[in-house]
Amino acid sequence: IARLLAFTGGKSLAATTLADLQTFADSLAALSTGSRKRTINAVKSLLSFGQKVGYLRFNVGAALKAPKPKNTLAQRILTEAEVHAMIALTKKQRDQVLLRLLYASAGRVSEVCALTWQDAQPNGDSGQVTLFGKGEKTRAVVLSRQTWQALQALRPAAAKPHDPIFTSQKGGHLDASQVHRIVRAAAGRAGIAGNVSPHWLRHSHATHALDRGASVALVRDTLGHSSLSVTSMYTHAKPSES
């Protein structure tokens, strides 16, 4: 927004025209496609909000199109062997269970960091975790018996229901930035190139589940997606036929 205001010489949003926006968008050519998209979408979002609250009579940003970056999802999907190597080569118990759960639950890093022991419940001969996250949606994900046993082995004898499952050295919930460092270190030990993040394990879960015959609807519910079209991007990233 600051970049737009500087470009238009401080012109008010109400006085900004579509021609101003188009010229501004053209001025961003030196930026990467992703940066241009974020900048333009931020401007479009502000203008939409301005119209919604009655400050702007017209939303001139509605006609402005943000560029679509190249889809690089396929580059962020690990093989099953790579996931197993990341887990096997991690010796610290907390970190190994964290990696297992990120992959097994397909949870977002914020959802997994927020887990408490009351969110882990038995289910038959294994168990499940209840994740709460994006869009204020709650979903339960069933774990394999092995992952459930590994999770229970991490639980301290004196743990209370509201205690975090993954704790930092200070005793509170593990921070997302710490999880990123744990995942990157695990990827390095496994010899995996690239800026591997916790979200790669989520992508990998979805892809491997579809490869093994899970329905798109089931994977959608596991990942907490809002629609099948979002989940279907995994079938496009790793097609079985071409």
Tokens coding 128: 């499940």
- 76 noted as active-site residue: no
Among candidate residues 3, 184, 199, 238, the one labeled active-site is 199
- 236 noted as active-site residue: no
Among candidate residues 44, 100, 202, 208, the one labeled active-site is 202
Could you tell me the CA-to-CA distances from 123 to 62, 89, 144, 205 in Å, in that order? 48, 29, 10, 20
Among candidate residues 44, 76, 100, 108, the one labeled active-site is 108
**Backbone angles phi and psi of 121, in degrees to 5:** -125, 145
- 199 noted as active-site residue: yes
Among candidate residues 76, 139, 205, 234, the one labeled active-site is 234
- 44 noted as active-site residue: no
Among candidate residues 52, 65, 92, 134, the one labeled active-site is 134
Residue showing tokens 């560029």: 67
- 134 noted as active-site residue: yes
Alpha helix (H) ranges present in 114-197?
145-154, 176-189
Q: Which long-range CB contacts under 8 A does 87-95 form with residues at least 24 apart?
A: 87/186, 89/186, 89/189, 89/190, 90/182, 90/186, 90/189, 93/153, 93/154, 94/154, 94/166, 94/167, 95/182, 95/186
According to DSSP, the residues that pair with 121 across neighbouring strands are 128
- 203 noted as active-site residue: no
Distance separating alpha carbons of residues 100 and 144, to the nearest angstrom: 10
Which residues are catalytic, by number?
A: 108, 134, 199, 202, 225, 234
